[in-house]
Each structure stands twice: as structure tokens, then as C-alpha cells.
Amino acid sequence: MSYEARRNQLYQLMVEERIRLVMFEHTEGRQDSAIRWMTGHPGDGLLFLGFDRQGKGYSLLVPWDINIALIHAEVDSLISYTEFERQPLKAIQGAAAYFSIPFGSKVEIPPVTPYPLFLHYVEALTDFEVLCRDGGLHREVEFFRAVKDPAEIAIYQTLSAITNDLMDVLEQRIRSGELNTEEAVALFIEAECRKRGCEGTGFETLAAGPQRSFGIHPFPAYTSGDFATAGLSILDFGLKYAGYTSDVTLTFVRPPLSRAQEKMLTLTERAYRLALAMIGEGVATKTIAAAVGAFFNNAKKSMPHALGHGIGLEAHESPALSNRTDNSWVLKPGMIFTLEPGLYDPTHGGCRLENDILLTPKGFEVLTNARIIRL
Amino acid sequence: MSYEARRNQLYQLMVEERIRLVMFEHTEGRQDSAIRWMTGHPGDGLLFLGFDRQGKGYSLLVPWDINIALIHAEVDSLISYTEFERQPLKAIQGAAAYFSIPFGSKVEIPPVTPYPLFLHYVEALTDFEVLCRDGGLHREVEFFRAVKDPAEIAIYQTLSAITNDLMDVLEQRIRSGELNTEEAVALFIEAECRKRGCEGTGFETLAAGPQRSFGIHPFPAYTSGDFATAGLSILDFGLKYAGYTSDVTLTFVRPPLSRAQEKMLTLTERAYRLALAMIGEGVATKTIAAAVGAFFNNAKKSMPHALGHGIGLEAHESPALSNRTDNSWVLKPGMIFTLEPGLYDPTHGGCRLENDILLTPKGFEVLTNARIIRL
């Protein structure tokens, strides 16, 4: 789907809701890759969607770096952020003037706008009705983005193949002892993913040897310490290709293991299979997450994080797969998300198994081939 | 200064303002390293500051990963975020109960709280007065953090020495031709900084050869393309040591150069010296930034970004050094900040020179030794 087609979905909703101007913001404090999704622009900036004099949808990008935008952005118009002194309030006032929106029009700003800043927007836009809503147009974009279109699914097929290939190479090199520290593994991924055509990694690689694998997210992310020595080692990484991120976790297991460690591994693998068996169109993700939670609790364990999450231009996107009471996501064909059950123990270390799943009209496809690897 | 001493500064302000409970949040969407600054905890979580029954300041950390917190956090009390279903509203209700704060008390939440979420806080805390302010306690923490204490300055002395040493090695290896792609340079930094005792890099290294140096932040951050070939190449990186980040930019210059490129280099170096000459206690950073802006404008150029920024636990902290009208920062001894004038041109490429400066009671110290390197 073209960037323009994506924006057209929004214009339609804007007409229905009589919203004349909507702003998206991707800046240091509030990053929203919806701008990249709707324009291709990968950098900081503000995106305004409105209508031209003929009532046709029209897009105005206000990038921080105009030179990057000139190369990457597919939009109707570009104005450098410096024209507005790099101030969002001046930019939105400028956009309202640019689009000549009438007195009393509805203008929607991002729902992540801080409360004190929201008050400044209201003040700066006294002629208009300022909307800042959880369930507004930005949420609709989140819904659109959660269901990947054919172009995005094609990217994920390529990306998954690269990720799988790299996991095979990692297994070989770790088995051979060539990669034997957290740092060696992480830097190998950085170098190899680029050789295979990726933009880079999708997030900071987490590599934790047996002494540190008890952390959900080890700190620091990787060190010069041993990896894949006796016990449980976790490797959680993602590759970024054409903007999109994969996200997988391997656990490397080297004997001797304690009974507690064996039990953690067995439970994690069973939880993963349980989750996989429940996946299907129309299933509430909360139901799956709750089932996995109950399964662990039944074994007197608990999982201290969500079961999974959507992936896309961000490493964490919708849908959430958590048993939080406020999670109302339901699986739909086209969604791509992780399943990542794990258990963590200060004494025995941790294990996690994470793969990327594509829901299809007929069922699902496990895109990646992460596994628990016994050395 | 100890973590407790840092919190004590806050308790004192809380007493003065009659605030009974204040919340800090470091989560995926809203990251605030104030929690690390006040407790040492480097991971996600919520921090609540209140008072015990004797009226003594008391800290409660609600970490996402309890195992990481048990190792790193120095606080009075810890409750796992899972106890509150990983929901901030439940956590703050729990904290209000934990501290037994009386009906009608003032409770302050982070000023970055989104407007729709702010409404939920107000609803969840009907018995209390919810504050969400630009100029509140969180801003006071920002002021405190902008002035580094002796322990932090000592960290920066070590970190700057490591950064300077690595820059010298980089210059050698780039001169010798051993490092000749963006990726080789970036991955060399990743590996070498860890050998020298750093946690890692402070942000994604930006390495842009002559074809891409026109971008303030090149996209992607680094590629397999050539680095330091004829023209202007920019290398912007930071190292992270004991939580703190350095931030330097080198420009590598290889002839032949166009006159336009020579002019950009000369102007950038002169802008840097101009800025340095203006630094001093009590000087408004806006004044310095405006002078540099005027200097460039006088030469019919413009700088599309701020002149500099504070550094610390984050790569970008206060004080801002920008000529935005809303910038009211004034330099004080103990502040550590960057100066980073630069010029960018789609045809000729870009150049930037960035060093880290410590303001001292007697003047200032240029901590780092970044430079324009002519090959």
C-alpha cells in the first residue's frame, strides 16, 4: 500500500468526524513512527493532515532535517521545522493558517501530549476546538498499523529469512566456541545483519550469560562476560530491514543443569506451545496471556512480563498480548506479533523463547525459528 | 553525593510545598532517568517519594524487574510492579495507601503525563489533589541534575579520558586506512569502549561518509559505505561510563575540497571558538546560541539545530543551548554540556565540531578533544 493510500484512510475518518487538521509528532521526547508509516520519512518532525481548497486530503510534513526529508518523504508539501523555530505550538499555528481552516474547526493533537503542554495548545489555538483523545485518530492509525498490508508482510518474509539464517550461524559459532562472550555475540550480530542488507538491529541486543540471565532485560545489555557456559544464557535480538523489526529470543543451555533449571525450560517450552495452540482469528489476546499466566501459576511460577507484542516499524507495537485488564486486543489476519514466555530466577538464571507469528486468513505462520539450544 | 542525599533535597522541597507524595516514571513510553539518579536503579519502574510516620522522607521503588532492582537500587522499600498488575494507576493508588497520606493531600505526577492519562489519574485519586505541572518538583530535579556534583564530575574526568584516548586511536586507524567504512568505525567504537570499561555507547553512533554527511542525523546511522574518502565525513558518538554519557563529533576531511567545503569548515571552527569565548557563569545560553546563529546568518548560512545541550545520565539533558524563545537556562559551575556548531549542504556534505565542556567556579574546562581532522 502506498503512503498516500495509508493517508487516505485517515482523511476518510477525518471527514466522518469533521476533523479539519490532525497532527502527528515524532520528536525526541515523543516518538511516533506513524509519520514514517504514512510518509516514509524516518527522522524527527511533525506531520499535518488536512484538506486542500477542493476538499481533497493534503499532507504537510515539517521535518527537523529537511535534507533527509527531501530524500525519503513522500508528501504533498514540506516546510522545514526551523521555519517555526522548532516549536510545535508555532508549527501547528502555522499549519492551521496554511490549510486556512475555518474558525471553530476541530484540530486533533497526539494523545501522548503532556497535560501542561496540552494547555498551551488550547491557548495557542483559541479559534479552534482542540481534541486530545485516547480513542481518536491516532488510535485508528494504531489499529491500521497493527494489521500489516501485503507490502509489509513481504518485508517480514525477507526479514524473517535473514533472522533465521543469522540464528543458524550464531548457533554454529557458539557451538564451536568461536563466540564465547556476550559482547562477541552482540557485535557479531551488528556486523552480520548489515552484511545481509539490514539497516541495523531493531533494538539493543540483550545477551546474558548464566550469571546474568535472571534479568528480564539484563543490565548492561551485554558485557565482556562469558556467554553460553554452564547453565542458562539468553540472547534476545531483532534485526531491522526496510524499517521493520524482527524480535527473537534464544536460550542456550549447557549442562550440568539443576533440576530447577530443567523445570524452567520444560515449563517455558510448554507455555510456548500452549500459547501457539490458542492463536486464531477473533481470539482476545488477553485470553491467551491469562491462560499462560495460569499455567505458570499452577506450577508455582510467575512470568513478570507480558506474553508478547506486535512488531513493525517499532520493536513494540500493538497488539499487546498481556493479561492486563485494560487490554482489549483481538487477533486479526495480518497481525504480526511475538510470543515470548519466560521464567527468571536470581539463583538459577532465566530462560525465554520468543518467535514472531503472522496471523493468516487460514491460521498462522511462525515466521522465525528461535529455539532453546542445548549445547 | 549519595542517592539518599539527592532524595533529601526533594523531601525538603516537598515539605515546603506541602506535597505528600510524588511519582517519577521510567517506562517504555516515558523515560526519566531521574529514577536512576535518585536510586541507582537502571531499569524501568516507578519511584514514589513520601514520608514515614515520623515525618521522615521515605522512598518506595516499584520496579518492572525486581531482580535487577535488588542488585542496583538503594531505596527504603521495594514492591514489584507486578503487584500492581503493571498499571501506573493501581501503583499510585497503592502508594497512596502505603504511605497513608491523608485526605486532600497534594500528589504530584510527572509533567510528561499525557492529557488523557492525566484525567484517569484525577479519577483514580479523587481523595487527593493531583498536580501535573511544568514548574513542579520534576523541574526541580532537572535543575539539580543540570549541576553535576563532585562524584559526577569525577566520572566525567574518567569518561573524557577514555573518550579522548579512543578518538586518538580512531584517528590513527582512519589515517592508516584500517577503518575505511562507516560500519567499521562504528563497530570498532562498540568493541573498544567496552574494553576500556564503558557500559557501551551512549547513543547510536552516527557515522556519515562524504555522500551522506549532509544529514544532521544520517539515516541509517551507519552503513557499509565508505568513510573518510574525499570530502567531509562526520563521526558523532558518545561513550557511557557508570551511567554517564560523553558526546563528541569529529569531522574528517580529505582533499580535494571545494571552496564551499573549505568555507563551511572555517565557519564551523570560528563559530565554535566564538561560542567558547562567550562561556561563563551567569551567561544565558540563549545569548550564546543567538550569537552563533547571527554569525552563521551573517555568512549567509544557517544552523538547523541547537548549539548544544547538557549531558549526564541521558545523552540530551538540561541545560539547553538554543536560541528558542522559551529557553531560559543560565550557565552555572558544575554544568557539563556540549558545544556543537555545524553546517550541512545537500551538495557539499556537512561538518560539525562537538566537545563537552565543564563550567568551573573559575572558568571552564574543555573535557574532550574532538577536532576537525585533515587527512
| CB-count exposure of residue B3 (10 Å: 0-12, 13-18, 19+) | middle
Q: Which of A68, A83, A115 to mutate to test the interface with B (most CBs of B within 10 A)?
A: A115
Q: What is the pLDDT of residue B28?
A: 85
What ipTM is given for this predicted complex?
Answer: 0.93
Give helix then strand counts, H and E, for chain A: 10, 20
Residue in B114, B187, B219 closest to A68 by CB: B219
- Residue A119 clears pLDDT 90, i.e. is over it: yes
Q: What is the pLDDT of residues A18-59, one digit of tens each?
A: 999 999 999 988 999 999 999 999 999 999 999 999 999 999
Cα diameter, chain B: 73
Q: What is the DSSP letter of A114?
A: B
Residue in chain B nearest A82 by alpha carbon: B304
Across the A:B interface, residue pairs with CB atoms under 8 Å apart total: 129
| Cis amide bond preceding B150, omega within 30 | no
**To 5 degrees, how large is the angle CA A317–CA A319–CA A320?**
90
Which residues of chain B fall below pLDDT 70? 1
What is the nearest CA distance from B363 to chain A, expressed in angstroms?
31
Instruction: Using DSSP, state whether B322 is helix, strand or coil.
Output: coil
- Contact between A302 and B346 using a beta-carbon 8 Å cutoff: no
CA distances, B86 to each of A110, B83, B365 (Å):
24, 7, 44
Q: What is the pLDDT of residue B29?
A: 81
- Contact between B67 and A43 using a beta-carbon 8 Å cutoff: no
- Residue A325 clears pLDDT 90, i.e. is over it: no
Label the pairing between strands B349-352 and B342-345.
Answer: antiparallel
Helices of type H across chain B = 3-17, 34-39, 66-72, 88-98, 115-124, 137-146, 150-175, 182-195, 259-278, 285-298
Residue in B85, B219, B324 closest to A87 by CB: B324
- Contact between A43 and B219 using a beta-carbon 8 Å cutoff: yes
Other beta carbons within 10 angstroms of residue B373's beta carbon come to: 18
Residue in chain A nearest B120 by alpha carbon: A134
Determine contact, residues A296/A303, Cβ cutoff 8 Å. yes
Q: What is the pTM of this model?
A: 0.94
Q: Is A97 left (phi over 0), alpha (psi -120 to 50) or beta?
A: alpha
| CB-count exposure of residue B275 (10 Å: 0-12, 13-18, 19+) | buried
Q: What is the pLDDT of residue B121?
A: 98
What is the nearest CA distance from A56 to chain B, expressed in angstroms?
30
Q: What is the pLDDT of residue B52?
A: 96
Q: Which residues on chain A are in Cβ contact (under 8 Å) with B203?
A: none
- Contact between A304 and B214 using a beta-carbon 8 Å cutoff: no
Supply φ then ψ for residue A52, to 5 degrees. Answer: -85, -175
Name the average pLDDT for chain A.
96
Q: What is the pLDDT of residue A136?
A: 96
Determine contact, residues B293/B268, Cβ cutoff 8 Å. no
Q: Which residues on chain A are in Cβ contact (under 8 Å) with B305?
A: 64
- Residue A132 clears pLDDT 90, i.e. is over it: yes
DSSP sequence for A303-320: -SS-SEEE-SSSSSEEEE
How far is it, in rounded angstroms, from Cα A4 to Cα A39? Answer: 8
Residue in chain B nearest A40 by alpha carbon: B219
Percent of chain A with pLDDT over 70: 100
Q: What is the pLDDT of residue A326?
A: 87
Residue in A113, A200, A325 closest to B221 by CB: A200
Residue in A66, A114, A304 closest to B114 by CB: A114
Q: What is the pLDDT of residue B94?
A: 97
Supply φ then ψ for residue A160, to 5 degrees. Answer: -65, -40
Helix (H) or strand (E) holding B309: strand B308-310
How far is it, in rounded angstroms, from Cα B198 to Cα B245? Answer: 10
Domains and CATH numbers, chain B: 3-144 (3.40.350.10), 147-374 (3.90.230.10)
Residue in A86, A116, A219 closest to B134 by CB: A116
Q: What is the pLDDT of residue A29?
A: 81
